Structure 1
């Protein structure tokens, strides 16, 4: 049995979407970040840095944190959502890592400074708006030539990026000026597993 410890966040939605896409049975454990449950000793034994999501696969006796690692694990476990042809496979992993190293952290900082920060830091807000727009432009250019990030096939790279573009829409980070990225977002958002995944354990709301 797979156990997923998560909350309603962009990184958490990546894994609920993937599990629903793959049709894997799992038990969902709601870790309420706003209640500080990610700082409790039981959770810290799973992830000493106290972040969601965490996946525990009892069948293989594997516990993983970091959403990119979990996505790779689930793709390898099932043989799905990661192309087998080498060029497409590495494209998927490249764009997955572009998200993990660039897009996700940049969006997280922008959300912090524009929504959660108690003080208005104009320099930081301008910096992260500029950097996220540059990342959006990079994705838009790539998607002008490809249906999905790895080419023709939907993959874990698309799931990773969608976790944050879904939140961008909720908090009104406008990327409509990037038509190919916007069209890709709508294609992914229309998938039944995606529609369900972004409601687990609860739908996200703007701050």
Structure 2
């Protein structure tokens, strides 16, 4: 959850902002001033005034907290301490970024961005597909990145993917494992699902028996 989303929850905002101000001033020995953007006259605006802050009117960024230039370092420390904001964003649209197609005929295919066409589309390629443009909305970026030049030849792309061990990295990631399990479940027929159901029933029976033994020995 981002800082702006947290502040939109008005019930939690006053407590969080008071904590942020207190910890920020303590860490910086009172030499830092915090500024918050809010709708003028709103409940959030009045809460900020009660905390001794200086609200600024803004219509494009409602209820978003920002720090002044002098407060950037302190704000970073406070955010890490409270664990409100996650680690910095590391997945960028760039040459060599491995992505997953999340919509359309190629759904579930792992591709590599080989060129950026415009602000909406990227040229993607994979060893088993024809190079084609894909809208960014249909791409889910992964943490994997390979070292390639812009629009490489197919053999160079395959060589770079093998050198980076893309397939094993993806299959061993939590995201990849979930998709593999989901794909296997979707490919099951009725009889396979029936066998899985029987296995679950047997497993539950064994668990109940062992639990009963433990309860009996404890008593």
Report the TM-score, using the length of structure 1 for normalisation.
0.20
TM-score when normalising by structure 2: 0.19
Taking CA–CA contacts closer than 8 Å with sequence separation of 6 or more, which of the two structures ends up with the larger relative contact order? 1
By percentage of residues, which structure has more helix? 1
